Structure 1
């Protein structure tokens, strides 16, 4: 399992690098095509009948790339070495991840319904919670025979409980569980599935994970009428704060800054340059090239630096700049495709600099760079 996790992390990292510039470039083309009616003369390119088809093709390509992004996200969630780390987690994102991974089990057995209520983030570990809900969704699907998907349902429901905690229910219209064994389903090695289908460990592990987070997991079932699994988790303080209405932010004017992008994938650098086109952006395709550049010119407001590079990684570049005494290491923003060595992971946890994940959230990239430029200029 450890070897598979390492393999999954490596695959996710290698996919994220090209995916970062594929998604960014598709977004750029889509925006440019959208602008064409206002910038083209009458009868120009935008007026051609195939322009609408091009927009449709771009939209489909972006949707496909987003699906790949979500699949890679699931690989990362399951392969993360920091499995015991507890943070504020978006429960709906976790549920959507579990459903995506279980899609092949569900589609031949039942229709899936999501009934998501307004709930805060919960305290947990994304990978562990995904493991729990994947197990519950797969169990729900396997309780329904194949071949009657139009007559059966699996429902995912989220709501806020009376005690302020977050409730998740996974309900199916499957075979149900007999009353005489209902009290044993969380026991290790107990299973109602046929030999070769279940080990009897899944629900025991789920119970352990949920209770370790201060939550509860329970079951209601009746033979022939299906099963309802209920998980209750504590809301995070961050999630509770997010629920309170906040005034709309005042638009902040963008101050033009100087940005150095360090990434051994030239296409990733070019994609970031397009995202940050309101700034003066320079590219370095290796850590050593960047170090030489920074030693001759330390007037950059921001350094967007890839974590994993073959010749001189982000950690080594940061520490070399720190030793030079320019103070520019405080302007570093690290960029990651997700595969960390233990040393790199410990380093990122130790330094105060922000980290952006590939593929990029363009709004987050712009915000982080804008804040660093404004603080430097101010």
Structure 2
């Protein structure tokens, strides 16, 4: 490839050998309907004062011949005047001029009129695009040169980028054909860029490889740069925005530089492979960012010069780094990248050599950047695809190595199985012996647990018996104390009746009646009647209270009901409160908020045991807190979504979270030693679970506790 490039460059020097022999008049003939103004066919004049007008130029202008293939000037703030003469040897009366460098800021075209004066057409990318005679990014001007005549024309150009004026002169047909070819080249290039852009986006979302992301950015920036340089974006999108038009070329240079650096840095894994190169990459990236700031501040000429310097440095640096990685470290990715990069560099060299006149300016060399960048984009896409294949092969090799190791491990496992079986047999004997010991310990634990459960039951029964004894003793004492007065009153009544019996035997009634009346006054017969009524009322109340206690005992224990049946929960709660009346302090306010509940299918005795344990704990918590002014026990019932809901809320000490999480564990208690076994709430939980219900506890320290019990109205399935 190097030899081919050198041979091409050597052959390209041949046109420069006769550059001075070309006439200074551009002649258009039928055999040569299109001509590029080269080698002395244009003359130039630099206006350093920027004050010369056309009249000054015609009178005193000293034009110099351009000894380059095409007019090519470095960045300058001077106004450039160009003069060229056209001889029309065709049958057409109108020729056209096409300046194919669309990024010139201001272009003034002067053409001769019939009266000897000059007319002027203003153009340039900083002037309204709509006023152009031709809707194209190139500068196209009409040359009014009649057939067989010769005319001289002038161009005045000002721009903040390097001045390049490749000018084609020809017939209208040839110029329009050339414009169409330029558009075709650009369309093909943009098509390649767009296809590669979309293709790599698809690959990125498929593989999630960030190399493709940076490559997508690189493709986008390279495409954007070419669109700016060739005036395509100015033609179709931002020709009405002077700010973007003026800075778009610099933006493209900065963005393409950043895109190249970020992509190469990621593609060649610079950060992990070369610390010094990684620092240089960041140096160039910082330089491009600062250049963008300079550009935005309006220093466009300075920014363009810095971009050129950075671009040359980056091209050389990346080329050297790629050569090091490809030759010294023999990296496959570096070799493929180097091939694509050399193609791009070669296109840049040809483009530059064409501008300075060493290589001929033709349709190939004028579009070499498009061709080179398109080929580079395609080659780099192949490089990324090869990268995926490399990763795939490495993965397959890794899987093969893993399989080989797995097979070796399997062989070791088979060899060790025999030894392990012997050790397992020995260990099994030990485990069997340990299991027997654990079974023995478990049996002992179950026996102890059963004893504790029975102890809890006996404690509840003792509390129940004490309550019954106390409650029955009061009404019995009341009845006993009323028996003696009742007997005395009855004796008095008997005496009175006896007097009436004697009255029948006495002949004289009046004296007897007086005697009876006196006796009535003596015994106060009215008081006797009232006392008898009161005594009988006391006996009746005592008997009713005794019946109520007995009924509560019967309801609580449900001794005559061992099966599941429908019961009234309110009746069970009331009986529990009756039996606990002696345990509830007088300052505790018991609030019953009973809702409408149907009869619930359950084990009545076990459900009453739930009420007994929870209310007993609530009373203990209230006593422990000691707040007699606000001591309340609130029992609320309601029907909720097919469940009977019973809420038992106290104003006691409440529980912290760590205690709340353990209250249903067997043997857990917060009471002092000897006051509780820790099985009460565990029994409550088991009873509710047996009824397919659930229990919720709402509590916080010093805010009391609320136990919410949910029992199904009808048990569809009872656990074993």
Normalised by the length of structure 1, the TM-score is 0.46
Structure with the higher fraction of residues in helix conformation: 2
Which of structures 1 and 2 has the larger relative contact order (alpha carbons within 8 angstroms, sep 6+)?
1
Normalised by the length of structure 2, the TM-score is 0.25
Larger radius of gyration: 2
